Structure 1
Amino acid sequence: MEVNAWVEKITNGMVKNLLPNGSVNACTRVILANALYFRGIWAENFDKSKTMDNKFHLLDGSVVQAPFMTSRKKQYISSYKGFKVLKLPYSKDQENRSFSLLVFLPNKINGFQNLIEMALADPTFFDRHVPREKSGVGNFMIPKFKISSGFEASRVLKSLGLELPFSEQADFTEMLADSSSKLCVSSVYHKVSIEVEEEGTTAAAATGVLMMKCCYIPPVDFVADHPFMFAIREDETGALLFLGHVANPMVETSM
């Protein structure tokens, strides 16, 4: 399929088969697709020789062994009620833009759900919880992880209140050369792939929308050995490029 081939090319092969077999049929009239590819190199790389396995605590109480990166250098870390935030800056890109990975770590192993709910309930959450100063670190460990995820997002969007584009009242006439066609959104497919390791982060995402008729401070410990939330953020505008969570760094694919 032409759309899938385009997405795979734009994302450097990280996102494949965005639109599954059968998603495009005789009723499909328009496909809107976008893709994003991000390759960030840490401003300060992690030493691969210091990466070692350690315990990561899962939500069900079990434990897995995962490779953890570490460093003795000062880090951007802030502590808040119930959680800590780590900012890992990337080197500036060719256009002199700066991006950072934000890691939101609940203090309690089982505090992940409360943190998610807190973030989703406050539109200013991410802007208000960005570390501004470096701190000396005590015990500092971040797991390497690679995640690929894909899903059909119509139900989620509708549950958030986005009903109109899926209904007969939808109006996309200004987007179409043939304004006589009455269209509504039938499906929204989203896929993302992200890898965090010693040199930096590689991430890609794509979305396809089908229409049919009808993102002196004392030393601080930051040990991400239990589920956490992360975001890749453009520093100046605050725009979120990627937003996700790690429940098990040893599970690469979650569908």
Structure 2
Amino acid sequence: SPEVLDSMTRLVLVNAIYFKGNWNKQFKEDYTADAEFRINKNDTKPVKMMQQKSKFSLATIPEANCQILEMPYEGEDLSMLIFLPNEIEGDTTGLEKLEKELTYEKFVEWTRPDLMGQTEVEVRLPRFKMEETYDLNKVLIGMGMVDAFSREKSDFSGMSSAIDLFLSKVVHKAFIEVNEEGTEAAAATAAAMSERSLMIPAMFIADHPFLFFIRHNTTMSVLFAGDSAPLCERCVPQSSVTPQVEVTWDVATLKQSTAPLHCSSYKSHFPSQLLYKV
């Protein structure tokens, strides 16, 4: 865009990630129904709520007062993990307490396969589609990547023969869609489990704000992370198109030292230590 690329731009670094996965156990579109998604304690939004009953890995985390559901994709190398608070706490989305508790170490601990028991679960999950763009300058500088943004200290001589280059802007763009078929995207604590009767399935009703992660199960690496806050404004009213999604580390721009250093705010819903690992 003109905000990123101008007459002073000399080099653009682009890194893109693309992912498409079908659920190992797909939702039946006939079961999708109109429902209300609770944005906070007082407000709701209409959504299309997908439904299915099947065996999934489910854990209850008393420390964070939440449930964690694992929904594998075909082949089971990758999974979506949904962190759902048991109730809306506070005056906003109710995710603040969970986000404050969550670190990368706790994420790994809470989602260990031996702590997530397979059980029959009735799952209700809204169909959603989100797109967000973030300026990562402040985040990267806060992590210690300072010299690259400095006119005086930057050194990109190993990449380009041009002189006086510095990093002026890093943009992250993410797009994700979750529907009945799956997801397409380009861009010491113990878990408590309880025995359940086969006649009464566990309930996982995602009718209020939640966090979601796409994880590579072998390495426990998080490939994509987000929350449902934008869902309130971007609910998909009907499945009229085939899902097309991409997650993109979009543009890192190098400019001459005479160009202004652009830097706007970046709002992360996750602690910096988790964001770093992600």
TM-score class, shorter = 0.7 to 0.9
Q: CA deviation at 1:76?
A: 1.2
CA shift, 1:250, in A, is 4.6
Aligned residues: 216
Provide the C-alpha distance between the structure 2 equivalents of 1:203 and 1:64, rounded to a whole number of angstroms.
24
One of 42, 66, 73 as aligned partner of 1:61: 42
- Report the equivalent of 2:31: 50
Q: Which residue identity does 1:48 align to in structure 2? A: E
TM-score with structure 1 setting the length = 0.77
Q: Which amino acid aligns with 1:23?
A: V
Q: Which residue of 2 aligns with 1:141?
A: 124
SS of alignment partner, residue 54 of structure 2: coil
> Which stretch shows the higher mean deviation, 242-251 or 143-152?
242-251
Give me the TM-score of the superposition, normalised by structure 2. 0.71
Q: Which residue of 2 aligns with 1:12?
A: none
Over the aligned positions, Cα root-mean-square deviation in angstroms equals 2.2
Task: Report the alpha carbon displacement of residue 243 of structure 1 after superposing the two structures with TM.
Answer: 0.6
Say whether the 8 Å CA contact 1:135–1:220 is kept in structure 2: yes
Match of 1:217 among 168, 191, 195: 195
SS at match of 2:138: helix
> Where do 5+ consecutive residues of structure 2 fail to align?
188-193, 236-266, 268-278
Question: What does residue 174 of structure 1 align with?
Answer: 158
1:165 to 130, 148, 153: 148
Q: What is the CA-CA distance between 1:131 and the residue it aligns to?
A: 5.9
Given residue 99 of structure 1, which amino acid in structure 2 is its aligned partner? L
Q: Are the equivalent residues in 2 in contact too, given 1:145–1:250 (CA < 8 A)?
A: no
Poorly superposed stretches of 4+, deviation over 3 Å: 159-162
Query: Deviations for 1:119-169, whole angstroms, at most 9, x for unmatched residues?
Result: 2xx2313222226331122x5311111001112221333344432321232
State the alpha-carbon separation in 1 of the partners of residues 112 and 228 from structure 2: 20
Counterpart-to-counterpart distance in 2, 1:33 and 1:143: 32
Structure 1 Cα separation of the partners of residues 207 and 148 of structure 2: 41
Q: Which amino acid aligns with 2:14?
A: A
Distance 1:34 1:79, change over 3 A: same
Q: Does residue 79 of structure 1 match 2:53?
A: no
